[in-house]
Amino acid sequence: MRKLQIFRNFVLSILLVFSSYALPQEPVRIAFMDPLTGAFASIGNSGLKQLQFAADYIYNSKGGILGGRMIEIVPLDNKQSPTESQLQFRRAVSEGIQYIFQGNGSAVANALNDAINRHNRRNPGQEVMQINYSAVDPILTEENCSFWHFRWDAHANMKLNILTDYIAANEDIDSVYIIGQDYSFGQVVSDTSIELLRQKRPDIEIAGSEFHPIGQVKDFTPYVTKIVASGADAVITGNYGADMVSLARSIIDNGLDIPIYTFYAAYDGITATLGADGKNRIRLIHNETSNPIPTEERKEFMRAFKAKNPNNDVTQPRITNALMMIVRAMEEAQSTDPYDVGLALEDMRFTTIGGDEVWMRGEDHQVFQSLHISVHTDEGVEFDADNSGFGLYTEYSVPLEETIVPVNECRMRRPRR
């Protein structure tokens, strides 16, 4: 009997010791939900590597966050499908994950936004936060804005505002052709470009505006034939992934020598495929300067990433920005509850490792930071893309203040606590 008691006490004490150790060591789990298979797998996997690396390099290798907790990244493959995203979201919830990174596809982001809002309404205390690092349909911070959604990329209208300024300043351009994927984002790009160009340069003719099904087009040559026939001087497109490469390749192969203004025409094989043919013809609008890289800290980060992932590049510094700001908010709130973290994120001002100032607006959870237009070239490119010798060189920059757009149609329902 006595023996049994001693044994019981022993077991209990061991359990106690372990539980007291286990508690602070429990990792902070963050899901990364993007296409990891299928037509857009390359962008998804590249983003996953960047998030994983940022978490390991900045935090886990230095003892973690919140006094010793590691960050665990949980990859979830949504196959770029809204339906699959709902399933993966349920899985994340059942595993107790409260933070979800997602970026590719505004249709997916919208579906996830709905699912998260519904879940959070019904399960107070177990809320989930959507960390949108790349879906740029304005509606996510306008009509459909939500307390649980934060966006770390400039939305399409902000980017187009700068891009059309740039195009309008170019006297050689008299007509533009707009081509895009046939869904919410592609349509926003088309509508907004037309509207803004009409205001800024009424003399520019819209030679055509075309939509094609997303991820379905085998060969863009028929579209290019139309662009040539229209006599356009420039092309604007929001295409990404395989749709972007194929479009650019067709334009180049068919000898169409006009500038192409894009959102995403670099990295993940795109830069290598364009190579010398695309030099000085393809431009991108993005945040965080590309070459020359402004700070030694970011250079070091990029070199370390390259050493670990020789076939990938740091394509989206905003993934790192988002992670760092969330961790800062967690540290400030001393909590991993998305509600506390959300409040701490609102109106946070943060300086990135690239030395860029970032502001997360509290009213609609839209991030603001300087925007840049870069060109595809091999000159002055210290950090190339796809190990091709080619990369992006920043030609034109707009400071944070000038990128700010007014809060539009966002009536955020704040959770009561």
Partner 1 sequence: MLEVFIFATLNGLVTGLLLFMLASGLTLIFSMMGVLNFAHASFYMLGAYFAYSISLYFGFWTGLIFAPIIVGVLGALVERYGLRRVHQHGHVAELVFTFGLAFLIEEAVQFFWGADTKNYQSPDLLDFPLFTLFGQEFPAYRGFMIGISITIFIGLYYVLTKSRIGIIIQAALTHPHTVSNLGHNVPLIFMGVFGVGTALAGVAGVMAGPVLTTFPGMAVVLGSIVFVIVVIGGLGSLAGAFIASILIGLLQSYAIASDLGMSDLLNLLGIEFSRDHPLTDLWTLTLPQVAPILPFLLLVLVLIFRPTGLMGKREQ
Residue ranges that bind partner 1, judged by CB under 8 A: 36-42, 44-46, 182, 210-213, 215-219, 221-223, 225-226, 228-229, 242, 245-246, 249, 253-256, 268-270, 272-273, 275, 311, 386, 388
Distances (CA, A) of 104 to 72, 265, 295, 343: 21, 14, 28, 25
CB of 201 to partner 1, least distance (A): 24
By beta-carbon proximity to partner 1, the closer residue of 9 and 216 is 216
By beta-carbon proximity to partner 1, the closer residue of 36 and 344 is 36
By beta-carbon proximity to partner 1, the closer residue of 313 and 364 is 313
Instruction: In whole angstroms, give the CA distance from residue 94 to residue 88.
Output: 10
**Straight-line distance from the first to the last Cα atom of the chain, in angstroms, rounded to the nearest whole number:** 51
Query: What DSSP string describes 338-386?
Result: HHHHHHHHTT-EEE-TTS-EEEE-TTT-BEE--EEEEEEESSS-SS-ST
By beta-carbon proximity to partner 1, the closer residue of 311 and 351 is 311
H or E element at residue 114: helix 106-122
By beta-carbon proximity to partner 1, the closer residue of 38 and 82 is 38
CB of 40 to partner 1, least distance (A): 7
Total count of residues recorded for the chain: 417
CB of 298 to partner 1, least distance (A): 23
CA proximity to 372, closest of 162, 132, 134, 152: 162
Sign of CA dihedral 302, 308, 314, 319: negative
258: how many CB neighbours lie within 10 A of its CB?
18
By beta-carbon proximity to partner 1, the closer residue of 273 and 335 is 273
CB of 174 to partner 1, least distance (A): 16
* Cβ within 8 Å of residue 19, ≥6 positions away: none
By beta-carbon proximity to partner 1, the closer residue of 215 and 355 is 215
Residue 141 and residue 218 in contact, taking contact as beta carbons nearer than 8 Å: no
By beta-carbon proximity to partner 1, the closer residue of 186 and 342 is 186
CB of 217 to partner 1, least distance (A): 7
By beta-carbon proximity to partner 1, the closer residue of 263 and 368 is 263
200: how many CB neighbours lie within 10 A of its CB?
14
List own/partner pairs for 217-225 with CB under 8 A and 24 or more apart.
217/243, 217/246, 218/246, 219/246, 219/250, 220/246, 220/247, 220/249, 220/250, 220/251, 221/250, 221/253, 221/254, 223/179, 223/247, 223/250, 224/250, 224/251, 224/254, 224/256, 225/254
| Residue entry with tokens 């939500």 | 146
CB of 393 to partner 1, least distance (A): 20
As to burial, measured by CB atoms within 10 angstroms (0-12 exposed, 13-18 middle, 19+ buried), residue 167 is buried
CB of 348 to partner 1, least distance (A): 33
CB of 237 to partner 1, least distance (A): 15
CB of 180 to partner 1, least distance (A): 11
CB of 252 to partner 1, least distance (A): 10
Count the helix, strand and coil residues of the chain and give each as a percent rounded to the nearest 5: 45, 20, 35
By beta-carbon proximity to partner 1, the closer residue of 180 and 338 is 180
By beta-carbon proximity to partner 1, the closer residue of 217 and 381 is 217
CB of 211 to partner 1, least distance (A): 5
